[in-house]
């Protein structure tokens, strides 16, 4: 019992000391420093470049930089400090990593029908970095492992040990890790929506992007078993946030902000 109480005390104190706030005011558990996350992100990006084919298409590279630069400025980032790469990959994907890294697949350039839709994607990824979602996911995994170790001490030697640990594992996956991931996606959608509007990209195109993605179909897991909200869930949330985004967009246009990026 004493050992169990000690584990709970250590875990509780660790959690309380690491609580911070996201850009939307949500309480976050952050057990990893920004410096450590930057190192992990930079290392991952270096590894990815070594294992993947980088695009040499100057038109595609300039297109991505044309979109990314005003987005980074709108997010109060220095574009010169960020490394931006285009990867020869047909999958519709893009990402941003701690350590100031942005990667866009050629497949995403094809999927996004215009610069505004691609701005929605890249803005969303920048939102993940600014909201420190990577550090939060790492921290949640650390906390989940700690909780499972504490339970293991409590049930060790009982006839229910195996079943309890299996249940705790499933509970961590569907009760904490996946829902938090969906929260991260929704939060990045909101942060990214404001970033793209502030940069002078039409925020309504974020909704059009997800409508296009929904039409692409494909077998998808039920939302409660997915790390991402469903396309319809995202569309509804973005639509509700459009009033605020349009106000920001009108202010950006009044300041003469309207990036002129042409899809190659």
Q: Where are the domains of the chain?
A: 32-254
Q: 230-235: which pairs have CB atoms within 8 A and are 24 or more residues apart?
A: 233/186, 234/185, 234/186, 234/189, 234/210, 235/207, 235/210, 235/211
Backbone phi, psi, residue 160, to 5°: -100, 5
User: Whole-model pTM?
Assistant: 0.80
Checking if the pLDDT of 137 tops 60, the result is: yes
pLDDT average, residue stretch 117-137: 91
Instruction: Note the pLDDT tens digit of each residue in 71-119.
Output: 999 999 999 999 999 999 998 889 998 899 999 999 999 999 999 999 9
What does the pLDDT read at residue 183?
A: 86
Over the chain, what is the mean pLDDT?
80
Q: What is the dihedral of CA 223, 133, 200, 263, to 10 degrees?
A: -70
CA–CA gap between residue 47 and residue 125 (Å, rounded): 19
What does the pLDDT read at residue 5?
A: 38
**Which of 176, 188, 242, 138 is CA-nearest to residue 24?**
188
Q: Are 4 and 150 in contact (CB under 8 A)?
A: yes
Instruction: Note the pLDDT tens digit of each residue in 144-201.
Output: 665 444 444 444 444 444 443 344 344 444 444 445 588 888 999 999 999 999 999 9
Instruction: Note the pLDDT tens digit of each residue in 219-237.
Output: 454 444 455 677 788 889 9
Instruction: Please state which of the ranges 9-18, 27-36, 45-54, 68-77 shows the lowest mean pLDDT.
Output: 9-18
């Amino acid at each position: 019992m004493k050992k169990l109480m000690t584990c709970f005390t250590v875990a509780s104190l660790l959690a309380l000391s690491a609580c911070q706030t996201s850009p939307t005011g949500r309480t976050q558990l952050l057990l990893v420093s920004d410096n450590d996350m930057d190192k992990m992100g930079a290392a991952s990006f270096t590894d990815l470049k070594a294992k993947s084919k980088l695009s040499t298409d100057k038109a595609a590279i300039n297109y991505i930089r044309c979109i990314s630069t005003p987005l980074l400025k709108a997010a109060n980032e220095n574009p010169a400090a960020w490394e931006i790469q285009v990867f020869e990959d047909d999958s519709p994907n893009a990402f941003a990593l701690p350590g100031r890294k942005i990667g866009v697949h050629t497949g995403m350039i094809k999927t996004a029908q215009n610069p505004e839709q691609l701005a929605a994607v890249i803005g969303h990824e920048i939102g993940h970095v600014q909201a420190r979602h990577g550090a939060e996911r790492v921290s949640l995994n650390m906390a989940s492992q700690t909780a499972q170790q504490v339970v293991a001490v409590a049930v060790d030697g009982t006839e229910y040990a195996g079943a309890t640990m299996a249940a705790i594992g499933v509970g961590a996956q569907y009760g904490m890790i996946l829902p938090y991931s969906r929260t991260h996606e929704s939060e990045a959608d909101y942060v990214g929506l404001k970033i793209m509007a502030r940069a002078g990209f039409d925020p309504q195109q974020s909704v059009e992007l997800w409508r296009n993605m929904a039409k692409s179909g494909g077998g998808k897991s039920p939302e409660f078993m997915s790390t991402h909200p469903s396309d319809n869930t995202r569309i509804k949330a973005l639509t509700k946030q459009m009033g605020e985004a349009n106000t920001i967009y009108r202010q950006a246009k009044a300041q003469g902000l309207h990036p002129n990026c042409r899809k190659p």
